[in-house]
Structure 1
Amino acid sequence: MSIVVTGATGHLGALIIDHLISRGISAAEITGVGRNADRLAALSATGVHTATVDYSDAASLATALAGAGADTLVLVSGSEVGQRVQQHTNVINAAKAAGVTRIVYTSAPKADTSALILAPEHKATEELIRASGIPFTILRNGWYTENYQNVVAVARQSGTYLTSAGTGRVSSASRTDYAEAVAAVLTSPGHEGKTYELSGDVAWDGTEMATALTTLLGQPVVFTSVSPEQHAGILQNAGLDEGTVGFVVALDGNIRDGLLDGTSGELATLIGRPTTPLLDGLHAA
């Protein structure tokens, strides 16, 4: 097996490579591609092949995938919201030209039907993968506990966990859980053509997050629920730009509407263990 992992210089891509190796894939069978030259150099020192690519640079992708001779591509979704459809198109086209025979893609929860603010680009990418004719596995990753790292810092200073998500719940899991799922589908049979809805085993609410933060920080943290309008004003006063404010408030609205609370159990089944609990995930992050 020869595997190319995109986004290998990011957190998820690097963890995917770690889990592939821990599950018995030789480093020499893996090519990690990404933009950060220093991180690629560190990766190369482990025996993994590397190549410098940019999702927006079709030529770099074509060269890297052709040179790798890979039969499997792990397409870690890009991080530049609004640009991902074209970027993913570049990756899929390069994969097809290079003769890749399988794509594993990290998507978003219920990407084809959800009103989640992040879903449309993932839905479009899933459609592109299906249209390519390349066999695939779609892993619809839920929310990462690591997304709350900044929340920890704010709670330490303010003693509050403030959102406009109301009583909405989030079934987050640690990034390493989702990374291990990629390795699992690449090292066990029966996953071709499958789409998995992945999430943490437990959906938590704002009060439970505040409790976890209290334990983590060793100081009282109180859950404070505000309206979307109040939230937007607070974020603007904190100096966030209009686009970021709109995104954060919209995402909290998605949580309030129950779009990130699914607990299918499929992630735990794939990795063969319970997902990382909220408190443990926050501590590790």
Structure 2
Amino acid sequence: MSIVVTGATGQLGRLVIDELLARVPADQVAAAVRDEQKAADLAARGVELRPADYDRPETLAAAIRPGDTVLLVSGSEVGRRVDQHAAVVAAARAAGAARLVYTGVLGGPDADFRLADEHKATEQLILDSGLPYTFLRNGWYTENYTALIPVQLEHGVVGSTAGGRIGSATRADYAAAAAAVLTGEGHENRAYELSGDQAWTLEEYAAELSRQSGRAVAHHELPAEANLAVLTGAGLPPQLAEILVDVDVSGIARGLLAGGSGDLARLIGRPTTPLADTVARALAANANANATATANANAAANAS
């Protein structure tokens, strides 16, 4: 019997593996991955690799075994996730998994913005399966914003949130919660509403980025149509851009991603990571990347 993490080479999945290895021996952890080469570092740490592809149910049948506890990390292909997740649920049920843990969205059945639709459908599939379950209803990732810092420093922070508060936390916070639930007791047939301890607005985010960077970063509140044009102009696929704008208008602006349950901090046994800390780390990473790029360019110029 193992703890099986799907999507184990993704940004969240890798962090969950790290947290699990700090809690249990490596031979109790299995990584379900599409590309074993991308998971070579996990294998080197003693994690069992199990080939698995959400779009190939026959691989899922071999990846999940009787008595396994399975973490279903939600897929990234919006519009295709219900069928993909259904294949994992079916495989877990057929194998006789001990429990299925799912990373959904804050609010669960009460979330009525478009991004939540596939998560709600997946939760219902799991309930209908009869498997013991735990729902980890993750709020917004702080990295959704800090990943855009280079653009924000040049063009400001844009959104259509109408001053709504965002109870975000880092991927590492959510990964720690997943590991706690996967290795702990008393989590069967429970749902946790996970969010950061301190919610913030985009205006407050822009002010924090200004403070730490030393540059004036404006917050631009845009109508939905203008926001959509900005996102598609930046290269996002239209369907994804529409969903993100809907999260702003139908989710954040209405307070549905503000959080406040305290579940995340209780599960991880510490305060969630403050916004200021995540901004600081992102700025440092950007500075290091810029320094590396400059050094490489200088080296290339000197060699020519």
Tell me which interval the TM-score lies in, with the shorter structure as reference length: over 0.9
Distance in 2 (CA, whole Å) between partners of 1:187 and 1:240 is 37
Change in 2 beyond 3 A, CA 1:168/1:62: same
Change in 2 beyond 3 A, CA 1:168/1:92: same
Asked whether the 8 Å contact 2:158–2:219 carries over to 1, the reply is: yes
Corresponding residue for 2:140? 143
Change in 2 beyond 3 A, CA 1:75/1:236: closer
Corresponding residue for 2:210? 214
**Amino acid of the residue matched to residue 13 of structure 2?**
G
Q: How many Å apart are 1:277 and its aligned residue?
A: 0.6
TM score, norm. by length of structure 2:
0.88
Distance in 1 (CA, whole Å) between partners of 2:170 and 2:229 is 30
Change in 2 beyond 3 A, CA 1:239/1:133: closer
1:176 matched to 2:192? The reply is no
1:203 matched to 2:202? The reply is no
**Amino acid of the residue matched to residue 4 of structure 2?**
V
Root-mean-square deviation (CA), in Å? 1.6
1:229 matched to 2:225? The reply is yes
Distance in 1 (CA, whole Å) between partners of 2:77 and 2:247 is 16
Change in 2 beyond 3 A, CA 1:5/1:155: same
Q: Which has the larger radius of gyration?
A: 2
**Amino acid of the residue matched to residue 118 of structure 1?**
L
Distance in 1 (CA, whole Å) between partners of 2:46 and 2:166 is 38
1:1-285 alignment, distance < 5 Å: 2-23=2-23, 25-66=24-65, 70-158=67-155, 160-253=156-249, 254-285=251-282
| Consecutive unaligned residues in structure 2, runs of 5 or more | 283-304
Deviations 1:211-251 (CA, angstroms, capped at 9, x unpaired): 22113423121111121122223334445443233123212
SS of the equivalent of 1:171 reads coil
Asked whether the 8 Å contact 2:170–2:273 carries over to 1, the reply is: yes
How many residue pairs were aligned? 281
Distance in 1 (CA, whole Å) between partners of 2:26 and 2:214 is 41
Change in 2 beyond 3 A, CA 1:18/1:92: same
**Amino acid of the residue matched to residue 15 of structure 2?**
L
Asked whether the 8 Å contact 2:158–2:221 carries over to 1, the reply is: yes
Change in 2 beyond 3 A, CA 1:77/1:222: same
Asked whether the 8 Å contact 1:4–1:70 carries over to 2, the reply is: no
- Which piece of structure 1 moves more, 240-249 or 12-21? 240-249
TM score, norm. by length of structure 1:
0.93
Distance in 1 (CA, whole Å) between partners of 2:264 and 2:230 is 35
**Amino acid of the residue matched to residue 45 of structure 2?**
T
| Consecutive unaligned residues in structure 1, runs of 5 or more | none
Deviations 1:246-265 (CA, angstroms, capped at 9, x unpaired): 12321211211211112111
Runs (4+) off by over 6 Å: none
Distance in 1 (CA, whole Å) between partners of 2:10 and 2:271 is 24
Asked whether the 8 Å contact 2:78–2:240 carries over to 1, the reply is: no
Distance in 2 (CA, whole Å) between partners of 1:205 and 1:39 is 37
**How high is the sequence identity, in percent, across the aligned residues?**
48
Q: How many Å apart are 1:117 and its aligned residue?
A: 1.8
